[in-house]
Amino acid sequence: MKLKSFLGLALLAATSAFANTPVYLDATKPIEERVEDALARMTTEEKVAIIHAQSKFSSPGVPRLGIPENWMTDGPHGIRQEVLWDEWQGAGWTSDSCTAFPALTALAASWNPEMSALYGKSIGEEARYRNKNVLLGPGCNIYRTPLNGRNFEYMGEDPYLASRMVVPYIQEVQKVGVAACVKHFALNNQEINRGVINVIVDDRALREIYLPAFEAAVKEGGAWAIMGAYNKYKGQHCCHNQYLLNDILKKEWGFDGVVVSDWGGVHDTKEAITNGLDMEFGSWTDGMRFGASNAYDKYYLAQPYLQLIKEGKVGTKELDDKVRRVLRLTFRTTMNPNRPYGSFATEEHAMAARTIAQEGIVMLKNDNNFFPIDTKRVKRILVVGENAEHRMTIGGGSSSLKVKYELSPLKGILARAKEAGVEVVYKTGYASPAVAEQDVKGAVAPEKIFDLDQLRAEAVEAAKDADLVIFIGGLNKNDGQDCEGNDRKDMSLPYGQDRVIEEIAAVNKNLAVVIISGNAVAMPWVDKVPTIFEAWYNGTEAGSALASILFGDVNPSGKLPFTFPVKLDDVAAHKLGEHPGDGVNVRYNESIFVGYRYADKEKIRPLFPFGHGLSYTTFEYGKPTIDSKTMTADGKVTVSVDVKNTGSRTGKEVVQLYVADKKASLARPVKELKGFDKVELAPGETKTVTFTIDKKALSFYDDKRQEWIAEPGKFEAIIGASATDIKGKVAFELK
């Protein structure tokens, strides 16, 4: 047979075989055709099987049809180590040490969507390499109170900022064939009683404050998965909540992905069937009680569901909808032949983590301009504080990580100081109790004996001879601090840190305080300390990122994503609302007045305002201009402002646009963030920053009419460097 004839027959055979391929296996076909084909081939038992877990982090596929399992992974800041099939403990792998990326508060503090895209791309590649097809993150719940133990996993107090930062993260994760599972939907603003507390909030606050970031995640980010929250709303658990999941998420927003339960967040089979849940996962539970092992068939959406179908008590309409969504997830991820392979714990990812961390570090205060460190004057640095060397990638709950390495602040400073020929001395200053590593089976806390008085005295004595003292403190991931499952008791720094800072300030005026936290902290010593930084939980390259800021290799450009109040009574959730509620209900009496909105309304001067952050250079703002003093109902107006770098260093400034409604039929905030742009300027350089304001930016939610309203009238466009540092205003009118 001639070669040409042989090839022709081979091609014909291949074409014939391809023609007989089931549609669901043919990646050239539209996903919806593949979904329907696969659905039609499945038995009821197979359908029920794929909507609930089979292990801690996986759910079954359909082996008979060649449809693979779904594998989930925590978390929003790095890819969790492999755990045992039915336990949280690590599986003992030697190849699962990941890159730790900065906490999402640090990402939000960058005020830079490009950093969010870099974050999503990098963490998505790590998830893909580990063959996970669902990343359990990002989180975008609103910062309502500085006591919430899980605030460090979220993106601040403002819905507009959170919306702009969450979208690029999702888009880039999903480009590598991994679903972003946005959490926790919705109103998960405290950890105390999180599994039972019912949130009572008005519709206006729900729509204006707590839902916009999730809506952006769905409509703009195109999220393929959403995780329900533990708490209740309207008396129903959020993991099977008719109003949130069916009415808003799926019907109103058109979400076509899967709703995944938080682990153990399901409580009722019939509600789970009808109220929008698609996939059930759990924790040491059979869905009804704690303690059962490998009891996944007893989950609410497992055998109890199948039994109801067999008895004719429920139909399969809801089941088919759930299965369609799971199949759609599978075809978008594991059954997409064009998925890239990803990469894991690479130098490129470590450098991405460093870049994000550098952009998020906030210089809160620099009164004596002692920073950046002048290595010609400073020859001896004293570093004080347990957080200078404390591991911050472990603990905190589900975001705990097993990392390839974690460069501590102390190591970062030591390395940079060595380059400059500067001596560094370290004193602990204070200490916290040891805790066991939560992902290690049978782990116990190591013995840790310390005397706080002695540690403090040693640090104060050493401070007398230092050219510069850098105190590195704040919070850690211990229970009752920045940690899942519990909230803080108050805003104070733990372990006697305030006293250490006060006593060092009394003997050395060249003192900088670096706070590592995911929450605002009280600073009774603020007037005695000339320089303060907020350095967040910055992951693998935390130490090098911090050192690069302190020594001036990188100009600080982070801005606060939430308000630092002076005291808890300055927070609306505590002054007007409730926290943590009565164990049954928690009332959001403050409504829309969260964060800077409340501070503006009550004329409260914060410790440090929303959007605040200093630089080693200076910026001068011109007078804002507007292209039209009138906006029609279907039109837009453009606001422009010139910003000039008037200092001697290249730097980045976050130009913020707020909008004020001068007269409205409902109470409105004094102003609301509606735009921001981070611009880089060389010394002497000027750039024009332009914002477009549309009708949406002027709207509020009328809870009586159940719709968004933009009332005709007078408005102001306000340009600021923070919520309190206002640079200019320009008026316009909506006709």
Length of the chain: 735
Instruction: Say if residues 413 and 389 touch (Cβ distance below 8 Å).
Output: no
What phi, psi does 236 have (nearest 5°)?
-115, 140
Residues in Cβ contact with 217 at an 8 Å cutoff, skipping those fewer than 6 apart: 140, 163, 166, 167, 170, 180, 182, 223, 226
Q: What is the CA radius of gyration of the chain?
A: 27
Q: Rounded distance, CA 272 to CA 318, Å?
A: 10
Establish whether 694 is a catalytic residue.
Answer: no
| Cβ proximity of 279 and 60 under 8 Å | no
DSSP E strands in 373-474: the ranges are 380-384, 423-427, 468-474
Say whether the peptide bond before residue 184 is cis (omega within 30 degrees of 0).
yes
Longest dimension (CA), the chain: 97
Token output for 583: 């164990």
SS3 assignment for 278-296: CEECCCCECCCCECCCCCH
**CA distance linking residue 357 with residue 365, whole number of Å:** 19
| DSSP three-state, residue 353 | helix
Q: Which residues contact 230 (CB under 8 A, 6 or more apart)?
A: 184, 188, 194, 195, 237, 238, 239, 262, 265
Question: Which of the residues 74, 96, 158, 262 is marked catalytic?
Answer: 262
Burial, 538: exposed, middle or buried (Cβ in 10 Å; 0-12, 13-18, 19+)? buried
d(CA 701, CA 707): 6
Cβ-based burial of 524 (10 A; exposed 0-12, middle 13-18, buried ≥19): middle
C-alpha span between 160 and 202 (Å, rounded)? 19
Query: What are the tokens at 530?
Result: 């000339």
Rounded to whole angstroms, the Cα distance separating 10 from 14 reads: 6
Please give the Cα distance from 622 to 730 (Å, whole number): 12
Looking at 442-490, which runs of residues are DSSP E strands?
Answer: 468-474
Residues 6+ apart with CB under 8 A from 521: 146, 474, 475, 491, 492, 493, 515, 564
Backbone angles phi, psi at 454, to 5 degrees: -70, -45
Going through 74-195 in order, the beta strands assigned E by DSSP cover: 134-135, 179-185
Contact of 182 with 226, CB cutoff 8 Å: yes
Q: Where are the alpha helices (DSSP H) in 508-595?
A: 542-550, 572-575
Cα–Cα dist 474/412, whole Å: 18
Q: Which two tokens stand for residue 556?
A: 């600080």
Quick one: which H or E segment has residue 707? Answer: strand 707-709
Give CA–CA dist 235/684, Å, rounded.
58
N-terminal to C-terminal alpha carbon distance within the chain: 81
| CA nearest to 378, candidates 389, 393, 368, 392 | 368
* Per-position DSSP letters for 681-692, written without gaps between them: E-TT-EEEEEEE
Kindly tell me the sign of the dihedral angle through the C-alpha atoms of 532, 533, 536, 542: negative
Q: What is the distance between the alpha carbons of residues 619 and 685, in angstroms, rounded to a whole number?
A: 10
Whether 104 contacts 76, CB under 8 Å? yes
Give the closest residue to 149 by CA, choosing from 451, 385, 475: 475
Structure token digits, residue 208: 């204006």
Catalytic residues: 262
